A = this chain, B = another copy of it.
Amino acid sequence: MTYAAISPLAKTELFSEQWQPKVVAEMNDYQFKVARLEGDFVWHSHADTDETFIVLEGSLRIDFRDGAVELAAGEMFVVPKGKEHKPFAAKEVKVMLIEPRGVVNTGDEDQGERTAQNDVWI
């Protein structure tokens, strides 16, 4: 049989909404999620897990309380658990996130409308 490759970037063409991560694959109890981001997100952290960002198209800045990292397409960064961060994109950026199943986009506190529905596949 022929197995299907997954193209994270192509998956981002299947939806237009921003800040709503969609699951494209699972590895053990981890999920690969793609999202379109633009503008400023909310400050948050994940007490129990690191979180990986991979930029698929565009560029992303992740702000920390003590600095920032700038990611171009093809670049990645692992935000350590417990570290407050705030993604920012001047123009829309397409990213892939890797984190354990069940992790909420806004971190450990409910942040209202910015909190996305979890475990949505595409």
A interface list, Cβ under 8 A from B: 1-9, 25-28, 30, 32, 49-52, 56, 62, 64, 66-72, 74-78, 81, 98-100
User: Chain A at the B interface: mostly helix, strand, loop or mixed?
Assistant: strand
Least CB distance, A100 to chain B, in whole angstroms: 8
Bound-state Cα–Cα, A69 to B4, Å: 6
Least CB distance, A30 to chain B, in whole angstroms: 7
Q: List 13 A-B contacts (CB under 8 A).
A: A2-B68, A3-B62, A3-B68, A4-B69, A7-B74, A8-B74, A9-B74, A27-B78, A27-B98, A27-B99, A28-B50, A56-B74, A98-B98
Interface-central residue, A28, A49, A77, A99, by most chain B CB under 10 Å: A28
